[in-house]
């Protein structure tokens, strides 16, 4: 089992790469080549704080054990969390109702978007009946 989780958070200004203090996209690395993508319901984003040892989103603090600026491109920063803290972070995002999974494994997509009542054989999943 992995001891840490990695989140790439779009928190930098797209024009100059400087920290913007808000975010509207989060990518959660779940495997070497697989990730889950989350988008906020408001493209203006939500206030986001990076204090080095912790981050804050939706007035909740989460401890981080490492980080890196400009991952992939200058819009994204990577944050490393203990697995238990990562679970708390993901659950907060889900429960806030302000985020939607737009890419990821079907089970994760259904769970995060609270669509457990949907049958994966329905056209909502792009599969003809």
10-39 pLDDT per residue, tens: 999 999 999 999 999 999 988 888 899 999
Question: Where are the domains positioned within the chain?
Answer: 4-125
Radius of gyration of the chain (CA): 15
Closest CA to 39 of 93, 1, 83, 115: 93
Q: Between β-strands 76-82 and 25-29, what pairing exists: parallel, antiparallel or unpaired?
A: unpaired
121: pLDDT confidence band, cut at 50, 70 and 90? Answer: low
47-63 pLDDT per residue, tens: 999 999 999 999 999 99
């Amino acid at each position: 089992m992995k001891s840490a989780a990695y989140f790439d958070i779009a928190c930098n200004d797209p024009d100059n790469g400087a920290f913007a203090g808000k975010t509207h996209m989060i990518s959660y690395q779940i495997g070497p080549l697989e990730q889950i993508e989350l988008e906020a319901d408001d493209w203006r984003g939500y206030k986001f704080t990076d204090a080095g040892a912790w981050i804050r989103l939706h007035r909740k603090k989460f401890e981080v054990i490492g980080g890196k600026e400009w991952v992939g491109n200058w819009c994204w920063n990577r944050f490393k969390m203990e697995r238990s803290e990562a679970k708390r972070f993901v659950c907060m995002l889900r429960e806030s109702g302000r985020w939607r999974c737009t890419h990821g494994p079907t089970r994760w997509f259904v769970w995060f978007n609270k669509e457990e009542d949907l049958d994966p054989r329905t056209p909502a999943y792009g599969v003809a009946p």
